[in-house]
């Protein structure tokens, strides 16, 4: 067959297969038999094998997976992928609405979207000119893992968008999950092959997407629904009600249980409906997500450090089972908090075997009147963390024993202390082995310096062998001693030492997070680093100065000042720096810079991502925000700028196009 005829036939085959795959996997309305689909697919594979130069990225053949990767690359999100705050009762929904109305100056009616909260893995998909070019996990909200090859194998995700109005660029966000049927099928396969079974559909979906070999992912029957977009300016839509059918027309799967609600009463009714049909659905849901429908209101409301102010997750009541408390253990965390844990006779909740459950603190045990030997109601809080609800007092036999909270630390033997006004009892001995262990695990873990090969198991081993005593000792490890460890060797020792050496140069944000300060996680650490620029400035910051940072509350401000006021913490930081740990400062410039200027970006930039543009502003002393207000001094308008541009014009804010922004910042860089 001449090549021109082959090209024509390949185009026909790809169009037919994409159409029928969409009908089958997205619309659940197959138009041809499986045998006919397989015949077309085999013809496609045969032609592409003969003419490999004609294979295209959007060909259905590209769903079968490629060569295994050594590791996942990082993927920067153009706008943060935030978490959602949770509520559990209807009264909290009314409080949520009241907070929104206080923030909005408009008296217009607010409408809402209500959609099932699927228990899966959040991902981001980037389409350029209709073609899927990148897919990533949520990660820490700012940076995720590039899992494009794996996401290409998910049949409900179109490799190319459909329709005649395909945008130049579109970033969508959605949830990858496994249906109950596909989860059972997957576990049946694993059982037949003698492999361990997955505990629940979410773990199975997450594990499938994080396979370095995309052929493994391709063999897993994953599903997908879109729940939103990164930026409304990429669409012609004014609200979620317009967005969902627009996305569906492009070939993206939308959850049929999503509903537009005129008021919160309708949202409450939909919550009850979803709760009623929860177990009739083909997939697992653990609540309902409620969002403000109008994009202009979403922009005005903005975000906190971790969650949008315009959306919230209303979680379902957790499933409950009866278990028996056989004993109580006490865990000591990195901040010295002593947490009681109930050891249970094993029970299953939502497909997961539960052997331990949180008791939270001494006051909680007293309030609930719990005893060792009690039969108790247990649930997975938020369907995740098991907790004891209450004892079944009527079933007591008289042999139950009172739970006596220890007065000394169960690990180091030092007296415990419960600060006035706090429910948590703490060990104040900073040299407590349990605290030291958890501090090192945190410091070396993903929320800290992310030292490859130094997980909890290896940290415990190094401590047990006496090779380390505290965090700084990680940078003094001896190669010969590591090689001598049981199960180790020359290569293992070299890999760990190389991984540690790589982290000797770290960013300010990562170092702040690694310190393990109470109430300071990765997102808050990013805020502090961006605001203060250097460790010295943060170290001497007052609570008032900390509270001036958008997203920092009183608890966090108090925890940060208390941490740096402690002499032992200051000595730990000094020792790390003496050992060669270099913290890259992001000092704001003082001459010829953007100090005092506040930038807001809208639309799409062609020369850089929005994160890169914002970093450029911050490096020159400027500030960036995500919503329009009188505080903004400059609005940078890229392609397809939205309602922010109109509002900025009304407020008299200076407007810069991309070229002017580049000239201003390049001039500032040269001047600085």
Domains along the chain?
A: 3-64 (1.10.287.610), 86-315 (3.30.470.30), 320-417 (2.40.50.140), 433-503 (1.10.150.20), 507-584 (1.10.150.20), 598-671 (3.40.50.10190)
Instruction: Tell me the average pLDDT across 497-510.
Output: 92
Per the structure block, which two tokens stand in for 366? 């007293």
Residue 25 — pLDDT band, cuts 50, 70, 90? low
- Between residues 523 and 429, which one has the greater pLDDT? 429
Distance of CA 516 to the CA centre of its chain: 19
DSSP H helical ranges for 579-624: 610-619
How far is 122 from 172, CA to CA, in rounded Å?
11
Question: What is the C-alpha separation between 380 and 358, in angstroms, rounded?
Answer: 10
- At 589 the pLDDT is 41
pLDDT range class, residue 64, cuts 50, 70, 90: low
- Cβ contacts of 359-365, under 8 Å, gap ≥ 24: 359/328, 359/387, 359/388, 360/387, 360/423, 361/423, 361/424, 361/425, 362/405, 362/418, 362/423, 362/425, 363/423, 364/423, 365/340, 365/403, 365/405
**Looking at the DSSP assignment, which residues form a beta bridge with residue 434?**
none
pLDDT for position 588 = 45
Percent of the chain with pLDDT over 90: 44
What pLDDT score was predicted for residue 521?
80
Does the pLDDT of residue 591 top 70, yes or no?
no
Least confident of 218-232, 360-374, 541-555: 541-555
Joined tokens for residue 225? 């629904």
Residue 338, classed as helix, strand or coil, is strand
Beta partners for residue 327, in sequence order: 343
Average pLDDT, the chain: 86
pLDDT tens for each residue of 273-328: 999 998 888 898 989 999 999 999 998 898 877 789 999 999 888 778 899 999 99
Q: Is 174 helix (H, G, I), strand (E, B) or coil?
A: strand
> pTM to 2 decimals?
0.54
- pLDDT for 96 equals 93
Q: Which of 7-21, 81-95, 410-424, 454-468 has the lowest mean pLDDT?
A: 7-21
What does the pLDDT look like over 214-246, one tens digit per residue? 888 888 889 999 999 998 888 999 999 999 999
Cα distances (angstroms) measured from residue 531 to each of 615, 622, 624: 12, 10, 11
Residue 7 scores a pLDDT above 70: yes
Residues identified as active-site: 117
Distance CA 20, CA 28 (A): 10
Q: What is the pLDDT of residue 616?
A: 81
Tens of pLDDT along 593-607? 677 788 888 887 888
Look at residue 30 and tell me whether its pLDDT is greater than 80.
no
Beta strand extents in 12-154 (DSSP E only) = 74-76, 86-87, 112-118, 121-128, 131-137, 143-145
pLDDT computed for residue 29 by the predictor: 59
Nearest in space to 309 (alpha carbons), one of 85, 491, 551: 85
Give the mean model confidence (pLDDT) for residues 15-35: 65
By percentage, how much of the chain surpasses pLDDT 70? 92
CB under 8 A, 24+ apart: contacts of 274-281: 274/116, 275/316, 278/316, 281/116, 281/257
CA distance 527 to 509: 8
More confident residue, 3 or 617: 617
Residue pair 202/180 in contact (Cβ under 8 Å)? The answer is no
Q: Which residues pair with 380 in a beta bridge?
A: 386
Query: Is the pLDDT confidence value at 541 over 50?
Result: yes
| 267-278 confidence digits (pLDDT tens) | 999 999 999 998
Compare 624 and 121 and report the one with higher pLDDT: 121
**Per-residue pLDDT tens over the stretch 121-157:** 999 999 999 999 999 999 888 888 999 999 999 989 9
How far lies 668's CA from each of 600, 616, 664, in Å? 18, 10, 6
In this predicted structure, the answer to whether residue 252 has a pLDDT above a threshold of 60 is yes
CB neighbours of residue 436 within 10 Å: 22
Count Cβ atoms within 10 A of the Cβ of residue 629 and give its class: 0-12 exposed, 13-18 middle, 19 or more buried: middle
pLDDT of residue 590: 42
How far is Cα 251 from Cα 224, in angstroms, rounded to an integer? 12
**Is the pLDDT assigned to residue 638 strictly greater than 60?**
yes
Nearest-angstrom CA–CA distance, 311 and 82: 10
For residue 330, list its beta bridge partners. Answer: 340
* Confidence category of residue 349, pLDDT binned at 50, 70, 90: confident
């Amino acid at each position: 067959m001449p090549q021109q005829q082959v090209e024509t036939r390949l185009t026909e085959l790809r169009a037919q297969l994409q159409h029928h795959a969409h009908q089958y996997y997205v619309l659940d309305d197959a138009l041809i038999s499986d045998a006919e689909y397989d015949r077309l697919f085999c013809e496609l594979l045969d032609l592409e094998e003969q003419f490999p130069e004609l294979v295209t990225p959007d060909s259905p053949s590209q769903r079968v997976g490629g060569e295994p990767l050594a590791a996942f690359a990082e993927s920067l999100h153009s706008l943060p992928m935030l978490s959602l705050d949770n509520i559990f009762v209807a009264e909290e929904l009314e409080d949520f609405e009241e907070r929104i109305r206080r923030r909005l100056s408009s008296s217009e009616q607010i409408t809402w979207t209500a959609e099932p909260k699927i228990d899966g893995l959040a991902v981001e998909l980037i389409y350029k000119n209709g073609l899927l070019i990148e897919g990533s996990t949520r990660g820490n909200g700012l940076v995720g893992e590039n899992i494009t090859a794996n996401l290409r194998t998910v049949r409900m995700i179109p490799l190319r968008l459909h329709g005649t109005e395909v945008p130049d660029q579109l970033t969508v966000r959605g949830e990858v999950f496994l249906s109950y049927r596909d989860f059972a099928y997957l576990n049946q396969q694993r059982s037949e092959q003698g492999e361990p079974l997955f505990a629940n559909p979410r773990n199975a979906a997450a594990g499938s997407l994080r396979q370095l070999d995309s052929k493994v992912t391709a063999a897993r029957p994953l599903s997908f629904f879109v729940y939103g977009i990164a930026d409304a300016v990429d669409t012609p839509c004014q609200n979620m009600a317009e967005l969902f059918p627009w996305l569906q027309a492009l070939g993206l799967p939308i959850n049929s249980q999503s509903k537009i609600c005129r008021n919160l009463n309708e949202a409450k009714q939909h919550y009850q409906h979803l709760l009623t049909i929860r177990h009739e659905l083909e997939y697992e849901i653990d609540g309902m997500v409620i969002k403000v429908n109008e994009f202009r209101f979403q922009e005005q409301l903005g975000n906190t450090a971790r969650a949008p102010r315009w959306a919230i997750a209303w979680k379902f009541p957790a499933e409950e089972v009866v278990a028996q408390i056989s004993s109580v253990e006490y865990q000591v965390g990195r901040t010295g908090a002593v947490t009681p844990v109930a050891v249970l006779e094993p029970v299953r909740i939502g497909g997961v075997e539960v052997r331990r459950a949180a008791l939270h603190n001494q006051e909680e045990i007293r309030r609930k009147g719990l005893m060792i030997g009690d039969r108790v109601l247990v649930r997975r809080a938020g369907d995740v963390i098991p907790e004891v609800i209450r004892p079944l007092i009527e079933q007591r036999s008289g042999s139950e024993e009172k739970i006596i909270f220890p007065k000394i630390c169960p690990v180091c033997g030092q007296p415990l202390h419960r600060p006035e006004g706090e429910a948590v009892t703490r060990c104040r001995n900073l040299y407590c082995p349990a605290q030291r262990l958890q501090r090192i695990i945190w410091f070396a873990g993903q929320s800290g310096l992310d030292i490859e090969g130094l997980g909890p198991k290896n940290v415990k081993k190094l401590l047990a062998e006496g090779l380390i005593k505290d965090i700084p000792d990680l940078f003094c490890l001896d190669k010969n001693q590591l090689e001598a460890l049981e199960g180790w060797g020359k290569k293992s020792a070299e890999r760990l030492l190389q991984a540690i050496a790589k982290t000797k140069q770290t960013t300010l944000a990562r170092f702040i997070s690694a310190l393990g300060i109470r109430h300071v996680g990765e997102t808050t650490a990013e805020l502090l680093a961006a605001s203060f620029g250097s460790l010295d400035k943060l170290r001497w910051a007052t609570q008032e100065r900390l509270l001036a940072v958008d997203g920092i509350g009183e608890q966090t401000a108090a925890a940060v000042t208390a941490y740096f006021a402690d002499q032992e913490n200051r000595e730990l930081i000094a020792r790390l720096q003496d050992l060669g740990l270099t913290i890259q400062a992001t000092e704001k410039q003082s001459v010829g810079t953007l100090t005092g200027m506040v930038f807001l970006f809208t639309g799409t930039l062609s020369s850089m991502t929005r994160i890169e543009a914002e970093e450029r502003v911050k490096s020159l002393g400027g500030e960036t925000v995500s919503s329009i207000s009188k505080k903004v001094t400059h609005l940078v308008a890229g392609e397809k700028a939205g309602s922010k541009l109109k509002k900025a014009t009304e407020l008299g804010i200076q407007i810069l196009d991309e070229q002017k922004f580049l000239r201003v910042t390049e001039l500032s860089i040269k001047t600085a």
